A and B are shown apart, each in its own frame.
Chain A
Amino acid sequence: MPDILSTGSSALLAFQRMMATTSHNVANANTPGYTRQRALLGSRGGQDIGPGFVGSGAQINRIERLADDFVISRLRDSASELGRLSQLSSLSSRIDRMVSEPASGIAKPLSDFLDAAQSLSSQPASSAARSDFLGKAQVLAARFRTLDGQLDGMIGESTRRAETLVAEINTDISEVARLNGEVVRALAQGSNAPPNDLLDQRDAVVQRLSQRIGVTVAAQDGGALNVFTNTGQALVVGRTASTLAATPDPYDPGRRELSLLTANGPILLGSSGLGGELGGLLEFARDVLDPAQERLGRLATAFAQTVNAQHREGVDYYGDLGGDLFTVTPPQVSTRNSNTGTATFTASVSSVGALNGAAIELSFNGTSWSAVRQGTGQALGMTGTGTVADPFVVEGVSLVLTGAAAASDAFLLRPTAAAGGGMQVQITDPNRLAAANPVRTSAAVGNTGSASISTPSVLDASDPNLRAPVDIVFIDANNYTIDGTGPFAYIEGAPISYNGWEVALQGPAVAGDTFSIGPTPPRSSDNGNARLLAAVGSGGLLDGGTVSMTSDVAGISAQIGSSARRADLAREAQSTIDTQIQQERESISGVNLDEEAANLMRFQQAYQAAAQVIAVADTVFQSLLAAMRR
């Protein structure tokens, strides 16, 4: 016969456990990653007493975890995306501020430099204007160096941050593997009841892992969770953990690339496809930082080359032809560490208009060379044979090959990445600034005709005879000789080019009229070259001559700004999604204290009632005893 006492005590025990579960929920109301638990109550089977079954009390069938695997997986995906976008947006906005800020950007000093050139053209002989121009040139070069240095600093910082992340990810990976083991063991032990708190713990670690690198999971029979990267590489299989390693880049020991060390050897992870903070970090370096540095370097290269070319077309206050005003670091070619040949390259920029700036991989297949864009693998046209007379030319960079390459040797060409960091002003003496035209013209005072000669313009500053004195003498009203050669027919206003310069004559001439072209002497206050220097900023130069330097400056900040904005908008959107999923999870798995309080009261009352059942059983038993004692 069913025993009231045993029924009552089973209820007591069951409600005690329910209260314990409720208290566990209350205790963990603020534990991150905790999933509320619920004890499932069931009735104990009945006993056939003839007319029917009499129940024998209650028991706790199981303590379940109120989790939704679908929500957890969405939460994991969201964490991966949010981790990636947070990194991308916070780092991008730092570069954005750096480039936008007038105190650290390029726009202001470049504008100041061009203004100083303009100012020099108004007072070409003034030592104040000359010093000011030189000062502005130094400020501009320093700004390029500083900005490039800051970008270098960010590259170093992201490398270090990636190394730290890799270490943390490795800890998480082995933690998941360990927990897999524990879960499997716990499940295998007898009752087959899920180890709720262990599962919470493992979910939390996987969630953190996803935030750091972005993972997908696959549950296994037996309770283990296999973890993969977004690109499908296994991080955890059962109780086996792989190790992530940051190894030196084959082209540049200062940079790191990621590989996964597996039993079958290392697998290169590449920089794309990864999620989480690590993915964001790599994406930032690849899509924002490197392009910014390359574009800045391209501007520095274009600027230095153009200004130098113009400066060489003028003469300074000492009457000498101008030299280079700026220097920048030339294109860098690095050798892959696995190369076996002896080939090396010397690179220089041959065409500013064709310059792109993005890294190029050069490889030798044993018979011919080919060039592809690093990262995308897009094939690039390369001409030439690599000799000094006929160098390889790819995207505006000339490459001269020395030594012999072996088959499958490869090189990395970074055309402009280092340019800005090496920008220097070559001239220290303000009087060395070439503000004047190298040649000047004059008409003999005794000329009786009324022809006049124009200001000369320089066509080829490298002509060795550029500054040789030359006379244009009219032998009659319609013919003239240059430097004793000729005669040539006189056409009013038509350009006359000789020795690298060009002039035009206007007005009727008379036999014997003489015009002279000669070198500009020292201490000239001519401003011809200063005016041309002031105009270099607005001429079409980059991207095949369609983009001027001043608009490129605006373009750089727009490019970085829109990267930062895109990342920020995406992060905001993801953060909203993440909040929603978190709410959803909280709604299912979170502890509501009011609910627990109500449950506590309910279970307390049930417990009291069960206690009362035991009291009744006792009374019944006492009655029986009393009857017997009689």
Chain B
Amino acid sequence: MRVSTTSLFQQALLGMGERTSNLARIQQQLATGLRMSSAAADPVGWSTAVAVDRAVAELEQFSGNSTILRNRLELADASLDQVGDRLSRVRELSLQAANGSYSDDQRRAIALELRQQLRAVVDSANTSDGNGRYLFGGSADAVPPFAFGISGASYAGDQNRRSLEVAPETAVEDVDPGSEIFLRIRTGDGTFVVRQDPANTGTATLRATAMVDPSAWDGGDYRVVFNAGNYQVLDAANAVVGAGAYVAGEPIEFRGVRIVVDGAPANGDIFAVSPAPTQDVFSTIQNLIDALETPAVTPAQRATQRNAIYAGIEDLTRAQEHIIDRRAGFGARLNTIEQADAGREANSVLLKTTLSELRDVDYAQAISQLNLEMTALQAAQQSFVRIQNLSLFNYLG
């Protein structure tokens, strides 16, 4: 083919230009570490990378959420651990006080320590989350949620249960509102309570209570009335549902409930059996304090006191169980968070690998291509310099 002089030059320049632009592209890839610098390089890959980028960012944010939630749950767990310790101490002291050989003064001394424990429990219930908010206030957590005074416990928080996303489609509940932890605790054995009538004049004391047949329990109000060595069980309508001769220490059973009474009841003494109401943990301790601080001189007063301590310890046991239940709940959530963390991290590694495959440059390939292009450019330049020198005009004249 006939080649014109101009096209010889143009062709050489075109080739060199192409090499140079390839070099610039590879150089940019190597400098940025990215295979693509814009969507045009690979539109499908790029849009996938945008979506994966978002997923990675989301996982990182979830990890932040998870840290915050874990801190809160751990803080709450530590507070409840302290509360548990306090309650154990209260229980220990109350059992000591129940010992009949203690004097009123000794009991008052114990009551004094119980007061301190009560204050400590209130303080724990008002634990701050470290950011100026109160852990156990629900979502009304700007003010200390609990106050305990003469009129009993007051709760300024709310009952809102908050959840937080810690992984895609995985929301974990935040710390329970204080009302669910410190208030609303079942009393008695959790189903029913036995209370001595305040007007009792005998020395009958409650030894034990138990639910022997939950299916027979109907949740009604009953009274066990003692009279002349016998007892009668009356329901709310004064109908007799059970009766028998009273033998101290022998169980009395009705409606699936068993109570064991010891001592000598006076005629007309009453033990009331009713469904267990709920009570806050502070009042439970306060009731024990009140029982210990009431002077007991006569045998009847002693019996009343012992019955009150018995009831208080029973309530305290429920409170301890309740706190442990709540902590178990925190533990389960912490466990969920841990699993979510592990899943998220595995996912994140996977996504980042995908992202890298989509977007990052393959250095080995890019460098070898760089060398290839450089060699080609050099060859083009050298050949051009030599060819452009050839002209018949050089030999004319």
A550 CB within 8 Å of chain B: yes
What does the 1/0 interface line of A524-537 toward B look like (CB < 8 Å)?
11111001001001
Q: Which of A255-263, A583-591, A610-618 contacts B (4 or more CB under 8 A)?
A: A583-591
B133 CB within 8 Å of chain A: yes
B4 CB within 8 Å of chain A: yes
B5 — which chain A residues lie within 8 A by C-beta? 29, 590-594
B200 — which chain A residues lie within 8 A by C-beta? none
Measured in the bound complex, the distance between the Cα atoms of B56 and A550 in whole Å is 13
A534 — which chain B residues lie within 8 A by C-beta? 165
Contact, CB under 8 Å: A587 / B164: no
Measured in the bound complex, the distance between the Cα atoms of B168 and A531 in whole Å is 12
Q: Which of B200-250 contact A (CB under 8 A)?
A: 219
Q: Which of A115-123, A165-173, A376-384, A394-402 contacts B (4 or more CB under 8 A)?
A: A115-123
Contact, CB under 8 Å: A561 / B3: no
B391 — which chain A residues lie within 8 A by C-beta? 593-594, 597
Measured in the bound complex, the distance between the Cα atoms of B140 and A526 in whole Å is 8
B171 — which chain A residues lie within 8 A by C-beta? 531
B171 to A, closest residue via Cβ? A531
Say which residue of B69, B131, B140 sits within 8 Å of A523 (CB atoms). B140
Contact, CB under 8 Å: B6 / A455: no
- Given A554-B51, A590-B6, CB of A583 within 8 Å of CB of B160: no
Say which residue of B40, B53, B141 sits within 8 Å of A564 (CB atoms). B40
A527 — which chain B residues lie within 8 A by C-beta? 139, 162-164
B10 — which chain A residues lie within 8 A by C-beta? 582, 586
Q: Which of B149-166 contact A (CB under 8 A)?
A: 155, 158-165
Measured in the bound complex, the distance between the Cα atoms of B38 and A579 in whole Å is 28
How many residues on chain B are close to A (CB under 8 Å)?
62
Say which residue of A36, A111, A593 sits within 8 Å of B54 (CB atoms). A111
Q: How would you classify the secondary structure of chain A's contact residues: helix, strand, loop or mixed?
A: helix
Contact, CB under 8 Å: B164 / A122: yes
Contact, CB under 8 Å: A111 / B278: no
A593 to B, closest residue via Cβ? B5
- Given A96-B39, A554-B48, A593-B5, CB of A115 within 8 Å of CB of B58: yes
What does the 1/0 interface line of B249-274 toward A look like (CB < 8 Å)?
00000000000000000000000000
Say which residue of B2, B44, B140 sits within 8 Å of A592 (CB atoms). B2
Give the number of A-B contacts (CB < 8 Å). Answer: 205
B142 — which chain A residues lie within 8 A by C-beta? 125, 523, 525
Contact, CB under 8 Å: A551 / B40: no
- Given A100-B38, A558-B39, CB of A436 within 8 Å of CB of B139: yes
Instruction: State the Cβ distance, B56 to closest chain A Cβ, in Å.
Output: 9
Measured in the bound complex, the distance between the Cα atoms of B135 and A525 in whole Å is 11
A94 to B, closest residue via Cβ? B38
B4 — which chain A residues lie within 8 A by C-beta? 36, 586-587, 589-592
- Given A583-B7, A590-B7, CB of A119 within 8 Å of CB of B65: yes
Measured in the bound complex, the distance between the Cα atoms of B133 and A588 in whole Å is 88
A423 CB within 8 Å of chain B: no
A44 — which chain B residues lie within 8 A by C-beta? none
Contact, CB under 8 Å: A594 / B7: no
Contact, CB under 8 Å: B133 / A125: yes
Say which residue of B41, B57, B69, B161 sits within 8 Å of A115 (CB atoms). B57
Contact, CB under 8 Å: B393 / A525: no
Measured in the bound complex, the distance between the Cα atoms of B69 and A488 in whole Å is 38
B384 — which chain A residues lie within 8 A by C-beta? none
Say which residue of A107, A119, A558 sits within 8 Å of B61 (CB atoms). A119
Contact, CB under 8 Å: A126 / B131: yes
A440 CB within 8 Å of chain B: yes
Most chain-A CB neighbours within 10 Å: which of B40, B42, B160, B280? B40
B120 CB within 8 Å of chain A: no
- Given A436-B139, A531-B171, A592-B3, CB of A554 within 8 Å of CB of B160: no
B162 to A, closest residue via Cβ? A527
Q: Which of A426-479 contact B (CB under 8 A)?
A: 436-437, 440-443, 445-448, 455
Say which residue of A29, A455, A561, A601 sits within 8 Å of B46 (CB atoms). A561
Contact, CB under 8 Å: A601 / B38: no
B370 CB within 8 Å of chain A: no
A121 — which chain B residues lie within 8 A by C-beta? 65, 164-165
A593 — which chain B residues lie within 8 A by C-beta? 5, 391-393
Measured in the bound complex, the distance between the Cα atoms of B131 and A567 in whole Å is 56
A97 — which chain B residues lie within 8 A by C-beta? 37-38
A30 CB within 8 Å of chain B: yes
B54 — which chain A residues lie within 8 A by C-beta? 107, 111, 114, 537, 550, 553-554
Instruction: State the Cβ distance, A48 to closest chain B Cβ, in Å.
Output: 42
Measured in the bound complex, the distance between the Cα atoms of B64 and A36 in whole Å is 76
A521 CB within 8 Å of chain B: yes
Measured in the bound complex, the distance between the Cα atoms of B141 and A554 in whole Å is 41
Measured in the bound complex, the distance between the Cα atoms of B40 and A42 in whole Å is 61
A65 CB within 8 Å of chain B: no
What does the 1/0 interface line of B101-141 toward A look like (CB < 8 Å)?
00000000000000000000000000000010100000111
Measured in the bound complex, the distance between the Cα atoms of B40 and A562 in whole Å is 6
B11 CB within 8 Å of chain A: yes
Say which residue of A118, A124, A589 sits within 8 Å of B58 (CB atoms). A118
Measured in the bound complex, the distance between the Cα atoms of B134 and A523 in whole Å is 13
Contact, CB under 8 Å: B37 / A100: yes
- Given A455-B160, A526-B162, CB of A30 within 8 Å of CB of B6: yes
B1 CB within 8 Å of chain A: yes
What does the 1/0 interface line of A84-110 toward B look like (CB < 8 Å)?
000000001100110111000001000
B50 — which chain A residues lie within 8 A by C-beta? 107, 553-554, 557
A527 to B, closest residue via Cβ? B162
- Given A107-B53, A111-B53, A122-B164, CB of A555 within 8 Å of CB of B47: yes
Say which residue of B40, B164, B275 sits within 8 Å of A448 (CB atoms). B275
A188 CB within 8 Å of chain B: no
What does the 1/0 interface line of A124-140 toward B look like (CB < 8 Å)?
11100000000000000
A356 CB within 8 Å of chain B: no
Q: Which of A364-412 contact B (CB under 8 A)?
A: none
Measured in the bound complex, the distance between the Cα atoms of B4 and A510 in whole Å is 104
Measured in the bound complex, the distance between the Cα atoms of B162 and A600 in whole Å is 97
Measured in the bound complex, the distance between the Cα atoms of B165 and A537 in whole Å is 15
B299 CB within 8 Å of chain A: no
A437 to B, closest residue via Cβ? B160
Measured in the bound complex, the distance between the Cα atoms of B395 and A601 in whole Å is 11
A31 to B, closest residue via Cβ? B6
Instruction: State the Cβ distance, A438 to closest chain B Cβ, in Å.
Output: 12
- Given A121-B65, A531-B171, A568-B40, CB of A445 within 8 Å of CB of B278: yes
A518 to B, closest residue via Cβ? B158
B46 to A, closest residue via Cβ? A561
Instruction: State the Cβ distance, B137 to closest chain A Cβ, in Å.
Output: 8
Instruction: State the Cβ distance, B281 to closest chain A Cβ, in Å.
Output: 13
Contact, CB under 8 Å: B14 / A561: no
Contact, CB under 8 Å: B159 / A441: yes
A520 CB within 8 Å of chain B: yes
Contact, CB under 8 Å: B43 / A561: yes
Contact, CB under 8 Å: A525 / B48: no
Measured in the bound complex, the distance between the Cα atoms of B17 and A579 in whole Å is 13
Q: Identify 11 residue pairs between A and B in the complex whose beta-carbon atoms are under 8 Å apart, listed by A's number.
A: A112-B57, A115-B57, A442-B160, A445-B184, A520-B160, A521-B158, A531-B164, A562-B39, A565-B43, A588-B2, A591-B4
Considering the complex of A and B, which 3 residue pairs feature the smallest CB-CB distances, nearest first? A590-B4, A561-B39, A558-B47
Q: 7 more A-B contacts (CB under 8 A) besides A537-B54, A586-B6, A587-B1?
A: A100-B39, A123-B68, A124-B139, A443-B159, A557-B50, A562-B40, A597-B392
